Structure 1
Amino acid sequence: MKSMKWPSSAVLCVMGMLAVITSCTKSNSSSSSVPPGQQKFNMYLTDGPVNYQAVNIDIQSISVLVAPDSCNADTTGSQWNWNHPTCYQWDSLNITPGVYNILNFQNGIDTLFSATNIPKGKILKIRITLGDNNSIVADSTTFKLDLLWGNTFTINVDECQQVDPGSLALWVDFDAGHSIIEVLHQHFALWPHIRLFTRANSGSVQGTLLPAAADPFVSVISGQDTLIALPGRHGNWEVRGIKSSTVDVTFHATAGAYHDTTISNVNIKPGSSVDLGTVTLH
């Protein structure tokens, strides 16, 4: 099994998991494509990479905690009335339960995982429930992924993207590289780490990294987080959901005598992508 040289600062990437509850807020306008009093919520699934052949996640259900417009409680402070039944509700999203290889969604590829009409209001949390059929494939061998601390976990929502007056969108980055723990030799466990982002309020950086013989990967230092990309078959890579204004991008070699190289102070603007072109390690 190949061993990836992850930088030490990339051990925990828990943006979204530790966020203070703010809100994912809709426009007051309504859209003709959804019923009155409703808004469409589009959730996209993407993935942070890991050096396995497959990461199969058994996704059984996803729901969102909504504070409807009819609720007048303060959703940002201590006055939030969690016990009042009209002030919040969990709404299930329309998904197809099953096992998904989330490595199919690397390097800028994502999928519209759910499009659901939910009450107009503020989205506060997302709750994901997993089944027991989770596994990874490494060196053509399948290993079961045990779940740590239960099969249901909740992520606080910081913001959503207004797609049109009646629709919201949110990207869910299932960070495989930081979610899988080898607790014993060839005995693996899953501790889901999730990043939430929108395209409008975050940027991305991309390029091509060569040669494949260097078995390279890319790390992007964004604030307190280290985001990782594994180049595709032709060396293409992309890191999205960057909220910092400047980042340092390091190109790492893990094979041969190739040398690492870094491009510092790359300017990132919300809603845009920076193309660093082709970088060749020597």
Structure 2
Amino acid sequence: MFSGKLKLRKFAGLLLAAVALTSFYSCSDDDDNNLEEDTARLTVRMTDAPGDYDAVFVEVEDVMIKSDLEAEGEGWVSVGNVQTGIYDLLELTGGVTQLLAEAEVPAGHLGQIRLVLGNNNSVVINGESQPLSTPSAQQSGLKLQVNQELEAGEQYEFLLDFDVDQSIVTAGSSGGFILKPVIRVSATAETGMIIGEVHPSAVGGLGIQTVVKATNASHTISAYTDANGAFVLNGVPSGTYQITVTPEAASGLSAKTMSNVEVSSNATVDLETIFLD
């Protein structure tokens, strides 16, 4: 599914309804931070949960914040240093994230983050590209609640995780597709990570597309394996999860389930190698 996809812009390295938004707080006395007095450093990254499409392109125009320190208008200001461009969300799986913004912002109460998307959004299905229309309510940007106190001299990181399957809606009898972003937001320091490898990663010389999903009563986090079978589930809130590994049907392999996987904040759970048969 990944081969032959149109790539308008691809970045190496690593934006669902927003169900939770927490902050990444990290104490540091390192003078190399070089933060100005009364400012904090804010980092925003984007990743994606799997979706059954060839490609899903979204155009990022801005990342804005609403600070109580802004007295004029609604208080919305761009964070600056925004990595604008068109991104294929399906390239941001398996632990890959895209840096969207990293800047110094005023310390104090941060009410919301707004992700502003452009009009150049599209989905590729069976090799055919179709436009993704954006409802008028979303054109001013998707607002995500933060309600976080930013302390001067500290660093805060937010991971915006698109749920592609829920974010793309068929436009009824008129045909076409509508983009209604559904985003899960997490904080690196307040969540954990699940990693591992799935084998075999290929059958008959062809790569296997496998989805790894962690679920409990409150959360669902998923990612594809890469070409080598490796996977990373980022931003997993603390708790006990069931892990489901589901290879594509054409592989002829059976799904596998693991229960009672414990995840703690700021820790990595290594499931090592998961063998399918």
Q: Report the TM range for the smaller structure's normalisation.
A: 0.7 to 0.9
Match of 2:186 among 174, 179, 197: 197
Gaps of at least 5 residues in structure 1 are 2-12, 69-83
Give the SS at the match of 2:91.
Answer: helix
Partner of 1:245: 239
Give the aligned residue type for 1:168: Y
How far is the alpha carbon of 1:112 from its aligned partner?
2.5
User: What pairs up with 1:186-225 in 2 under 5 angstroms?
Assistant: 187-211=176-200, 212-213=202-203, 215-225=209-219
Give the aligned residue type for 2:264: K
User: What pairs up with 1:60-75 in 2 under 5 angstroms?
Assistant: 60-68=61-69
Quickly say closer, same or farther: Cα 1:218–1:160, change in 2 above 3 A: farther
User: What pairs up with 1:26-105 in 2 under 5 angstroms?
Assistant: 33-68=34-69, 85=71, 89-94=75-80, 95-105=82-92
Give the aligned residue type for 2:45: Y
How far is the alpha carbon of 1:56 from its aligned partner?
1.0
Quickly say closer, same or farther: Cα 1:63–1:183, change in 2 above 3 A: same
**TM-score, normalisation: structure 1:** 0.76
Tell me the alpha carbon deviations over residues 114-172 of structure 1, each in whole angstroms, 9 at most, x when there is no partner: 1222111122211122111101223322111111343222011266998x933322222
Give the total of aligned pairs. Answer: 252
Give the aligned residue type for 2:215: I
Partner of 1:134: 121
Quickly say closer, same or farther: Cα 1:173–1:159, change in 2 above 3 A: farther
Counterpart Cα distance in 2 of 1:204 and 1:39: 25
How far is the alpha carbon of 1:276 from its aligned partner?
1.0
Partner of 1:269: 264
Counterpart Cα distance in 1 of 2:123 and 2:237: 30
Tell me the alpha carbon deviations over residues 228-273 of structure 1, each in whole angstroms, 9 at most, x when there is no partner: 2111111111111111321100112331443222100001111111
- Note if contact 1:30-1:39 (Cα within 8 Å) is conserved in structure 2: no
**TM-score, normalisation: structure 2:** 0.78
Match of 1:153 among 142, 155, 171: 142
Gaps of at least 5 residues in structure 2 are 2-15
Counterpart Cα distance in 2 of 1:122 and 1:147: 30
Quickly say closer, same or farther: Cα 1:101–1:51, change in 2 above 3 A: same
Identical pairs, percent: 25
Match of 2:160 among 159, 169, 172: 172
